[in-house]
Amino acid sequence: MKPFRIDRRALLRGAGGIAIGLPFLEVMTPLERRARAAASPPRRFLVFFSPDGGIHENWIPTGTETSFTLSRILAPLEAHKQRLVILDGVENKVGGYSARPGDDHMKGMGTALTGIGLLEGTTQGGAGDPAGLAGGISVDQAIASSIGTSTKFKSLELGVQAGSSGTVWGYTAYAGANQPLPPDNNPSSVFTRVFASVGADAGAIARKQAERKSVLDAVQQSYTKLNPRLGAADRAKLDEHLTNIRDLETRLTAVGAGGATCSKPADPGKLDYKSNASFPMVGKLQTDLLMMALACDLTRVGTLQWEQSVGNVRFTWVDPAITRGHHDLSHDGDGVADTIEQLTKINVWFSQQLAYLLDSLQKAKEADGTSMLDNTLVIWINELARGNAHSHDKMPYVLAGGAGGALRTGRFLTYKRASHNDLLVSCLNLMGVAGTTFGDPAFCTGPLANL
């Protein structure tokens, strides 16, 4: 395998260290900058996904709600301990007990953020009836509909070998039932999409925006004329497309705002983002790009999806003894001590990656002097509780960040089979979105108690 020799810090000036303050002078008028600076910092919501289940005994902290010791898997988060809420005993009930189709990985994945069972479909998993995609909107998108309406991107879905299977295994974010938002696995493509147009002079940006508006107006005209002539199923499909074009047009006028820590990253360039060995490097690049998109207020909602459900990355850099894929390992029984050790190490590694993200958020300062971590809610999710049992009880949920002061952190909470739909309601509420139920109401009782 060809080693990567790219210096990440050279690539993303200021993103990793985040201390550089080069505001987006180019994209903001002085008036806009003053207006942004005067407002209180926005709330932000981030999803951090890793697959194939956890190892509960090496994950659960010991101690009480406010006085606890982090476990081996969560130890890398020690520096942010007072910014965490660790949730034990929350169960993905809709994934475990809904009558909808799909195998346990598929159900766990499709319900992870939607809280509603899968659609019927033709994808055959390892068990259960063949299934389609998720049956409803995901909580990050429901949040984005509220807090993401004024930014250039309503949300950004970034992946690290997050799969291209085109099946329910590959997606966490959904705009609605059967409308997955595929994660972009290519840092170069993310850069182009998010940052490439940033940095041109103001006149050029205005001209570009005007051009795009003209083009999209004309494009919409074609759909508006054609769609009524189509059959119902076809018309629904093209109407959805038209909605997405309208959405695109309204975003074109939005510009990045730029807090004190916003700077344009350098183009990561072409790289082999699919090879097994590139996984850690691509993960860092994607984290940095997502961080900078947040710091520049280009978006307020993001997903960082590491692998996909049944992801089979070989974590050779974690331990050379690991020669088998992640999912392959996760099927071994509890008696196979070597495997449990390897899976624990893999989860420790994911914990380190979350710590890197939290470090970056902590170092990034808002216009009012608070840190971005103070104003952000991060949720670490998995599609399974334990891989070999394909279980959905005792899910390894971790919350991090102050959520703009809404979340009391530094706590370890124990629940008795609380439903994860309730946790999704809490996420909505913590982000200032009203609501008492989310997903399938049969599995939801309201916000999670004592959060």
Partner 1 sequence: MATINSFRRATACLWAGAMLAELSCTGVVMSPGRSGTGGDGGPTGMTAPLCQAGAGPSPGPSYVRRLTRLEYSNTVRDLLGDTSGVADRFPAEELRLGFDNNAQALTVSPVLAEQYLLAAEAIATNAVEANWSRLLPCDPAGPAGADVCAKQFIATFGEGAYRRPLDADDTAALQAAFAAGAATDFKTGIRLVIETALQSPRFLYRVELGAAPVAPSVVKLDDWEMASRLSYLLWHTMPDAELIAAARGGLLSSPESIAAEARRMIMDPRAHAVVADFNAQWLHLGEIGAIEKDAKIFPKFSPAIAGLMREEIDRFLEDATWDPDGGDLATLFTAPYTFVNGALASYYGLTGVTGTAFVKTPVAGAFRGGLLTQGGLLSLLGKANQTSPVHRGKFVREQILCMELPPPPADLMIKPPDLSATLTTRQRFEQHAADGACSGCHHLMDPIGLGFEKFDGAGLYRDTENGQPVDDGGQLTESDVDGPFHGVLELGAKLASSGQVRSCMATKWFRYGYGRGETDADGCSLATIQARFAGGGYKVRDLLSALVETDAFLYRQVTLVGDAP
Residues of span 9-48 touching partner 1 by CB under 8 A:
none
Minimum distance of partner 1 from residue 181's CB (angstroms): 6
Dist. CA 321–CA 41, nearest whole Å: 46
What is 259-306 written as a DSSP string?
Answer: -TT--PPPP--S--TTSGGGHHHHHHHHHHHHHHHHHTTS-SEEEEEE
175 binds partner 1 (CB under 8 A): yes
Residue count, binding to partner 1 (CB under 8 A): 75
- Indicate which single residue of 62, 221, 250, 253 sits in contact with partner 1 (rule: CB under 8 A): 221
**Nearest approach, Cβ of residue 208 and partner 1 (Å):** 9
Question: How many Å apart are CA 430 and CA 407, to the nearest integer?
Answer: 7
132 vs 117: CA distance, rounded Å:
10
Measured distance CA(160)–CA(305) in Å, rounded: 6
Helices 187-195 and 279-295: crossing angle in degrees, nearest 10, is 10
Give yes or no for a contact between 144 and 42, defined as CB atoms under 8 angstroms apart.
no
* Residue at token pair 């606890």: 68
Q: Is 56 in the site for partner 1 (CB under 8 A)?
A: no
Tell which one of 233, 320, 369, 416 touches partner 1 (CB under 8 A): 233
Rounded CA separation 86/70 (Å): 10
Give the whole-angstrom CA distance, residue 28 versus residue 52.
Answer: 44
- Which two structure tokens, joined as six digits, stand for 55? 């190892």
Interactions with partner 1, residue window 387-406 (CB under 8 A): 388-391
Q: Which is nearer to partner 1, 124 or 370 (CB)?
A: 124
Q: Which of 111, 94, 48, 73 is nearest to 287 (CA)?
A: 48
Q: Footprint of partner 1 on residues 176-195 (CB under 8 A)?
A: 178-182, 184, 186, 189, 192-193
Q: Which of 149, 222, 253, 436 binds partner 1 (CB under 8 A)?
A: 222
Taking the least distance from each CB to partner 1, the nearer of 82 and 225 is 225
**Given the rule CB under 8 A, which of 30-38, 59-67, 242-250, 299-307 is the region that contacts partner 1?**
242-250
* Least distance from partner 1 to the Cβ atom of residue 385, Å: 12
**Of 21 and 269, which CB lies nearer to partner 1 in the complex structure?**
269
Contact criterion met (CB below 8 Å) for 357 and 378: yes
229 residue type, one letter: R
Q: Which member of 13, 56, 235, 363 binds partner 1 (CB under 8 A)? A: 235
Using CB under 8 A as the criterion, what x/- string covers residues 309-328 for binding partner 1? -----x--------xx----
Q: To the nearest whole angstrom, how small is the minimum distance from the Cβ of residue 272 to partner 1?
A: 12
- Dihedral sign (CA 269, 277, 169, 159): negative
Binding residues for partner 1 restricted to 274-293, rule: CB under 8 A: 276
- By CB under 8 A, name the one of 65, 78, 247, 319 that touches partner 1: 247
- The footprint of partner 1 on residues 325-354 (CB under 8 A) is 331-333
* Residue 199 found at the interface with partner 1 (CB under 8 A): no
In single-letter form, the type of residue at position 216 comes to L
Per-residue contact flags (x/-) with partner 1 for residues 97 to 136, judged by CB under 8 A: ------xx--------------xxxxxxxxxxxx-xx---
Site for partner 1 in 153-172 (CB under 8 A): 154, 157, 164-167
Q: Which is nearer to partner 1, 67 or 244 (CB)?
A: 244
Q: Which is nearer to partner 1, 75 or 318 (CB)?
A: 318
| Among residues 75, 177, 205, 216, the one that binds partner 1 under rule CB under 8 A | 216
The secondary structure element, H or E, covering residue 429 is: helix 420-430
Contacts of residue 267, defined as CB under 8 A and 6 or more positions apart, other chains included, come to 11, 188, 191, 192, 196
Residue 341, CB-side half-sphere exposure with 13 Å CA sphere: 7
Nearer to partner 1, 307 or 422 (CB): 307
Query: What's CA 332's distance to the chain center, in Å?
Result: 28
Among 273, 352, 269, smallest CA distance to 307 is for 273
* CB-nearer residue toward partner 1: 216 or 254: 216
> Least distance to partner 1 from the beta carbon of 439, Å?
21
Stretch that binds partner 1, among 4-12, 232-240, 342-350, 365-373 (CB under 8 A): 232-240
The residue (of 203 and 369) whose beta carbon lies closer to partner 1 is: 203
Phi then psi for residue 436, to 5 deg, are: -120, -5
Which of 9, 34, 241, 408 contacts partner 1 by CB under 8 A?
A: 241
HSE at residue 61, side-chain half, CA atoms within 13 A, is 26
